[in-house]
Chain A
Amino acid sequence: MFTGSEILLIITVMAASAVEAVEALTIIMASGITHGWRSTWEGASVAFFALAAVVGVLGTTIIHHVDIDVLRVIVGTLLLIFGMQWLTKAILRSSGFKAMHDEVRIYEKEVEELKKEKHIRHGKRDSIAFVVSFKGVFLEGMEVVMIVISFGLSNGNDYNRLKYAALGAAIAIAVIAVIGAIVAKPLAKVPENTLKLGVGIILVSFGMFWMGEGAGVKWPMSDVFILILAVIIAATTFGLIGYFKRLHNLMQHEVHLL
């Protein structure tokens, strides 16, 4: 059976992967509709296997050759950077300072741009479709790979965590792919910002904890302190959203008065 920490690991990786998979799906759909599905699926599949290879090769190499403290510093630093990036963007979106991620609008823009591109064929393959879907899946997936590797390797040479993290990502990608295939349009109703907010809080909490531990910091109450960190980060996040939302509304009001 899974432990509490393993369940949290799987849920976090699933949520992070779902966000990126929704964005990749939008690109795949735009490419498939404008330039044909065959090359689009080929590009997406090659990118998917390339990402899986990165997880397998990089993950196992790191497990065998990197000292646990060095690993925790690298993992913690990466998670803290990604987490802060996700969290600040989510705060700006929730408070109104940044437009919400609109998959339909992104899809329409992408379709418009791809329609302008000529069909470049090599045999049965459309190069534009292949490259666009490969790049879309590879770039969106790279962040997932980093999260899978970081969470999966946090306990040093414990292969199970890496397997569970990869499993979480695979489940999320499969679910989004199936839903995408059924509804055949961009998934605009997935609450991307809420997911980013939740995942951001978890990434920052784990990132701080592992980075500190790798640097030699002795956290009070050991692993339980991650929960306290999560509460502190969540409270600050919602405080910032409240403050900047008020500021944004005030600015809108002033603009109306002018």
Chain B
Amino acid sequence: MKILKSIWRFIKSFVLFWKDFLVGDSPELALGVLIILGVAYWLHNSGVWDVVAIVMLALILMVVTVWRKTRVHR
């Protein structure tokens, strides 16, 4: 039982470390990047649209994230 608890504690802290490392205080960024990845896979045979979509989505993600963070101060 004690071993199981230690293993569980280790797994929990491992997951929390990586969540904090990759997501941190900007969950919208991690989610947004995953959406861009999905769109890249979805449109990868569509000629120039995949390039346009990836670039536009990345820029929108940047603007939205900064906008959201500044809203706290407004």
List the interface of chain A (C-beta within 8 A of B): 73, 77-78, 80-81, 84-85, 87-88, 91-92, 95, 97-98, 142-143, 204, 208, 211-212, 215-220, 229, 232-233, 236-237, 240, 244, 247-248, 251
Contact = CB atoms under 8 A, between A and B. Distances in A.
Interface in B19-74: 21-22, 24, 26, 29-30, 32-34, 36-37, 40-41, 43-45, 48, 50-51, 54-55, 58-59, 61-63, 65-66, 69-70, 73-74
A11 to B, nearest CB: 23
A84 B40 contact: no
A142 B36 CA distance: 25
Contacts of A95: 70
A84 B32 CA distance: 10
Given A81-B29, A212-B40, A217-B40, 18 more contacts: A77-B37, A81-B22, A81-B30, A84-B32, A84-B58, A84-B62, A85-B29, A88-B26, A88-B66, A97-B70, A142-B21, A208-B36, A211-B54, A215-B37, A219-B51, A237-B62, A240-B66, A244-B66
Contacts of B50: 212, 217-218
Contacts of B48: 220
Given A211-B36, A212-B50, A216-B41, A240 B29 contact: no
Contact of B33 (A81, A215, A219, A229): A81
Contacts of A218: 50
A91 B66 contact: yes
Interface residues of B, number: 32
B11 to A, nearest CB: 18
Given A84-B29, A87-B62, A232-B59, A212 B22 contact: no
Interface centre among A97, A98, A251 (most CB of B within 10 A): A97
Contacts of A142: 21
Contacts of B33: 77, 80-81, 84, 211
